[in-house]
């Protein structure tokens, strides 16, 4: 039925029956072969027009063929690694009694001001429609309507006096008709003014701003940048939880390390301090690496061979070796000493009180500790308001996990559980305690010490696969100007 030749084209899909046999010794490069007795299905593929028929195709080109690229060795291997890590994530947290919580994607609160947000709206349909509709009334048209309304008002006045004179006031037909005309003129004017105000098809408030009370949720709403605050709600109610879901940043970032849509894992541990938090982060990453080595050895080997010879060893070392730990103070001292010794040069200066840059983080993980390192107790000025203030009054109980090849993989902290301290830090950060009163309620009513962290899932994929570009480790990457 199908000429045997068609089964052989790159991209053809076949379902066959036959006998699996050991290959003869002279067949090099293969262990078994299938002796086909029946072709059940053959989806043919014309290699002359198949966009990915060639042997050597660049990853850049494949990004433009997102619907065909999982048919390549590389992207398929990445997809299997991704699947393995995703399931290992669930296994790890379930095994340790964490509950999976679906935090919301659409939100009205801007957690920690973590970045620019996408707006979610149904208002633009009106702006689209406005383009198709008649233009808004001109000032002259408005003036005419105002004059008409004013004339109708005078007519009512005249009619009222006439009715009073004749004693028919209540049901004088002329007055009634004048009143009805005035009503019509007024509502026509109001409608015209409303059309001018809802300029471009967007509803407007009296002050001229976009009237979000007319939007789907009755207020301005966004795509979430983090599920942490909602995770805390569940951790403070039911003990440890984790989230695993999509997160968004509307940043005009075109680097190989940023996506507009990516997946995050955010555990929140009840009755935990910073030490517990670091322990959990290390156990989790090492569990993932161990699972990967067991379940996807061939995929890791392929990717390592093609893209980063160090990748497999990095995963093995991570699985088997304890992470290093060092305080932010120690980290700064180490970096300053390395600079003083001329052991390294950095683009950015190292200074206590400033955040570590990627080059500093990678130097610590790759050159100083030669393995993942957890840096903890950062200056409060560079960290979020919800991180627990240390007794020194200068640092907070924050921690970052830095790994070779990637830099920051995880950021976490013990959360400030003291109502008074949290309120003060919030005000310092310029946030309104009224807006976050629900968050303060978690401390007001039965507060509990807790800690958590966030891991960008694609960062974990970069670390384990050795892929260079984050756009190649998510099935359908979104970045500025690209949503295919």
Token representation of residue 154: 């005078």
CB nearer to a copy of itself: give 79 or 306.
79
Query: Tokens 């440890």 appear where?
Result: 240
CB nearer to a copy of itself: give 174 or 306.
306
Instruction: Determine which helix (DSSP H) or strand (DSSP E) holds 99, and give its type and residue range.
Output: strand 99-100
Closest CA to 192 of 153, 127, 143: 143
- 2/392 Cα distance (integer angstroms): 77
Token representation of residue 429: 């950060």
Mapping DSSP to helix (H, G, I), strand (E, B) and coil, where does residue 390 land? coil
Closest CA to 446 of 236, 141, 256, 261: 236
Token representation of residue 278: 């670091």
In whole angstroms, how close is the CB of 54 to a copy of itself at the nearest point?
Answer: 14
- 104/92 Cα distance (integer angstroms): 23
In whole angstroms, how close is the CB of 153 to a copy of itself at the nearest point?
Answer: 28
CB nearer to a copy of itself: give 87 or 348.
87
In whole angstroms, how close is the CB of 275 to a copy of itself at the nearest point?
Answer: 15
CB nearer to a copy of itself: give 230 or 373.
230
In whole angstroms, how close is the CB of 64 to a copy of itself at the nearest point?
Answer: 11
CB nearer to a copy of itself: give 98 or 385.
98
In whole angstroms, how close is the CB of 477 to a copy of itself at the nearest point?
Answer: 8
- 257/235 Cα distance (integer angstroms): 30
CB nearer to a copy of itself: give 116 or 333.
116
CB nearer to a copy of itself: give 214 or 357.
214
- Nearest 5°: phi and psi at 200? 75, 10
In whole angstroms, how close is the CB of 302 to a copy of itself at the nearest point?
Answer: 14
User: What letter does residue 97 receive in the DSSP assignment?
Assistant: T
**Angle between helix 274-295 and 297-306 (nearest 10):** 90
In whole angstroms, how close is the CB of 175 to a copy of itself at the nearest point?
Answer: 40
In whole angstroms, how close is the CB of 315 to a copy of itself at the nearest point?
Answer: 20
CB nearer to a copy of itself: give 3 or 446.
446
Token representation of residue 309: 């010879």
Dihedral sign for Cα atoms in the order 464, 475, 85, 292? negative
Query: Tokens 């992470």 appear where?
Result: 323
CB nearer to a copy of itself: give 358 or 482.
482
CB nearer to a copy of itself: give 44 or 179.
44
449-474: b (≥16 Cβ within 10 Å) or e: bbbbbbbbbbbbbbbbbbbeebbbbb
The beta-strand segments (E) located in 164-231 are 221-223
- 338/344 Cα distance (integer angstroms): 6
Mapping DSSP to helix (H, G, I), strand (E, B) and coil, where does residue 242 land? strand
In whole angstroms, how close is the CB of 270 to a copy of itself at the nearest point?
Answer: 9
In whole angstroms, how close is the CB of 216 to a copy of itself at the nearest point?
Answer: 6
- 22/152 Cα distance (integer angstroms): 99
Pairing of strands 32-43, 221-223: unpaired
């Amino acid at each position: 039925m199908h000429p045997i030749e068609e089964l052989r084209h790159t991209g053809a899909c076949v379902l066959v029956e036959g006998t699996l046999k050991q290959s003869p010794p002279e067949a090099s490069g293969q262990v078994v072969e299938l002796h086909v007795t029946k072709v059940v299905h053959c989806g043919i593929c014309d290699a002359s027009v198949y966009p990915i028929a060639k042997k050597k195709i660049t990853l850049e080109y494949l990004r433009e063929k997102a619907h065909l690229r999982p048919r390549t060795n590389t992207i398929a291997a990445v997809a299997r690694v991704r699947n393995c890590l995703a399931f290992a994530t669930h296994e790890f947290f379930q095994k340790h009694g964490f509950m999976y919580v679906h935090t919301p994607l659409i939100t009205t609160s801007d957690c920690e001001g973590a970045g620019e947000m996408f707006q979610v709206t149904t208002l633009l349909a009106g702006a689209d429609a406005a383009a198709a509709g008649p233009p808004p009334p001109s000032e002259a048209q408005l003036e005419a309507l105002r004059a008409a309304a004013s004339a109708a008002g005078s007519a009512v006045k005249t009619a009222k006096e006439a009715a009073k004179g004749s004693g028919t006031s209540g049901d004088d037909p002329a007055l009634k008709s004048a009143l009805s005309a005035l009503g019509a003129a007024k509502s026509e004017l109001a409608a015209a003014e409303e059309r001018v105000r809802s300029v471009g098809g967007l509803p407007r408030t009296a002050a001229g701003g976009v009237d979000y009370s007319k939007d789907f949720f009755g207020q301005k709403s966004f795509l979430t940048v983090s599920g942490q605050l909602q995770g805390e709600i569940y951790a403070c109610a039911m003990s440890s939880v984790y989230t695993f879901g999509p997160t968004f940043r509307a940043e005009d970032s075109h680097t190989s390390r940023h996506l507009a849509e990516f997946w995050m894992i955010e555990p929140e541990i009840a009755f935990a301090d910073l030490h517990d938090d670091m322990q959990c982060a290390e156990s989790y990453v090492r569990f993932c690496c161990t699972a990967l080595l067991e379940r996807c050895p061939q995929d890791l080997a392929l990717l390592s061979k093609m893209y980063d010879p160090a990748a497999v060893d990095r995963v093995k070392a991570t699985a088997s070796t304890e992470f290093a730990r060092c305080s932010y103070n120690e980290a700064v001292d180490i970096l300053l000493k390395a600079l003083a010794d001329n052991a390294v040069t950095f683009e950015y200066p190292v200074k206590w009180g400033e955040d570590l840059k990627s080059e500093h983080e990678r130097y610590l993980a790759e050159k100083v500790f030669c393995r993942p390192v957890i840096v903890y107790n950062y200056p409060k000025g560079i960290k979020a308001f919800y991180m627990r203030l240390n007794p020194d009054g200068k640092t907070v109980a924050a921690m970052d996990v830095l790994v070779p090849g990637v830099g920051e993989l995880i950021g976490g902290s013990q959360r400030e559980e003291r109502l008074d301290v949290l309120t003060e830090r919030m005000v310092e950060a310029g946030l309104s305690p009224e807006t976050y009163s629900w968050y303060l309620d978690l401390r007001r009513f039965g507060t509990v010490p807790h800690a958590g962290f966030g891991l960008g899932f694609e960062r974990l994929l970069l670390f384990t696969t050795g892929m260079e570009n984050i756009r190649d480790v998510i099935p359908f990457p979104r970045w500025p100007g690209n949503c295919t």
